[in-house]
């Protein structure tokens, strides 16, 4: 039997709350504790740190993510953000709004650029695939040694990150939010990047130290940044990053989600339907979250 609720408040007030076994969505932990028979949560998000960060999350509740549904839309965002900076599109728009009609120096191209992608899952693979169409050389950073992906020209583990940063023209962060990735990009790590490099973050805001990144951009230690996530989120309205011409800043919209994009919604539903089939057949589900890893 299926039930549909418009809000968690409606669910909690329902006499069926204690009988719920499967949830499609992202209920709050306080709501989860009220569902005594809950055994499986199918998320509509790719990231699961909402639950993996809970110290006493019940071991008997399976959590599956919508990983695989967002690679297409997020990779499109990444490419468009890089090109917007390389082609000075926002500078031209600002110039025209002020009555200007002049050539702006410094137009750049993706052809021949070395792109380092941290995270070689669905988002990283789709990004590498699209960027290689522009003639880039793509390098992946993964967690598991020996892991191979045909969309990358080279693959390394996280231990090689600092060396690879020194050679990269573009660095894309598509990592999950875990204790290991928190604060990964601080002032010391950012300093290893080229002054001509662009940093892209579509992972989690807390992976990059916001103030260290701001300082590096202000000092010209980086050429620009494309940020769909920040820490905190949103930034204070007077924060320097908001007003920098070499920064593309958006409110966590790269992974256009459930209810906002038909393509993504279809992908999420396909994952859920496949997992329902596996659940009925007592088979392992897709995208099961490993709480020991955080994703």
Condensed to tens digits (0 to 9), the pLDDT of residues 76-129 reads: 999 999 999 999 999 999 999 999 999 999 889 999 999 999 999 999 999 999
Q: Which residues are catalytic?
A: 204, 233, 252
Please state the domain extents for the chain: 8-68+258-280, 71-249
> CB pairs under 8 A, 24+ apart, for 32-35?
32/58, 32/61
DSSP classification of residue 19: G
DSSP classification of residue 284: P
**Confidence at residue 103, expressed as pLDDT on a 0 to 100 scale:** 95
Instruction: Tell me the residue ranges of DSSP E strands in 143-286.
Output: 154-157, 170-173, 198-201, 224-227, 247-249
Two tokens at 252? 């966590």
Closest CA to 174 of 132, 150, 208: 208
Distance CA 153, CA 146 (A): 14
Got the DSSP string for 124-180? HHHHHHHHHTTT-EEEEEESSTT---TT-SEEEEGGGHHHHHTT-SEEEE-----TT
CATH code of the region 71-249: 3.40.50.720
What's this model's pTM, rounded to 2 decimal places?
0.92
**Confidence at residue 129, expressed as pLDDT on a 0 to 100 scale:** 97
**Confidence at residue 4, expressed as pLDDT on a 0 to 100 scale:** 74
Bridge pairing between strands 198-201 and 224-227: parallel
Give residue-wise pLDDT tens across range 209-244. Answer: 999 999 999 999 999 999 999 999 999 999 999 999
**Confidence at residue 36, expressed as pLDDT on a 0 to 100 scale:** 93
Give residue-wise pLDDT tens across range 156-195. Answer: 999 999 999 999 999 999 999 998 999 999 999 999 999 9
CA-based angle 144:145:151, to the nearest 5?
Answer: 80
């Amino acid at each position: 039997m299926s039930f549909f609720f418009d809000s968690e408040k409606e669910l909690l007030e329902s006499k069926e709350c204690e009988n719920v076994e499967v949830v499609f969505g992202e209920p709050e932990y306080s709501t989860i504790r009220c569902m005594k028979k809950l055994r499986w949560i199918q998320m509509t998000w790719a990231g699961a740190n909402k639950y993996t960060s809970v110290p006493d999350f019940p071991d008997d509740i399976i959590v599956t993510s919508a990983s695989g549904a967002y690679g297409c839309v997020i990779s499109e965002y990444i490419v468009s953000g890089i090109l917007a900076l390389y082609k000075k599109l926002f500078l031209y728009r600002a110039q025209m709004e002020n009555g200007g009609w002049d050539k702006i120096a410094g137009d750049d191209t993706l052809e021949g650029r070395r792109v380092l992608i941290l995270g070689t899952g669905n988002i990283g693979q789709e990004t590498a695939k699209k960027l290689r169409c522009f003639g880039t050389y793509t390098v992946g950073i993964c967690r598991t040694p020996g892991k191979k992906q045909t969309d990358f020209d080279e693959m390394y583990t996280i231990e090689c990150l600092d060396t690879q940063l020194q050679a990269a023209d573009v660095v894309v962060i598509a990592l999950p939010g875990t204790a290991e990735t928190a604060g990964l990009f601080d002032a010391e790590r950012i300093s290893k990047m080229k002054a001509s490099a662009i940093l892209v973050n579509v992972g989690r805001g807390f992976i990059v130290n916001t103030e260290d990144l701001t300082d590096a951009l202000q000092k010209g230690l980086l050429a620009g940044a494309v940020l769909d996530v920040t820490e905190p989120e949103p930034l204070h309205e007077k924060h320097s990053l908001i007003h920098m011409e070499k920064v593309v800043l958006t409110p966590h919209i790269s992974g256009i989600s459930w209810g906002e994009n038909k393509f993504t919604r279809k992908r999420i539903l396909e994952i859920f339907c496949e997992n329902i089939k596996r659940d009925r057949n007592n088979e392992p589900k897709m995208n099961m979250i490993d709480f020991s890893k955080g994703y």
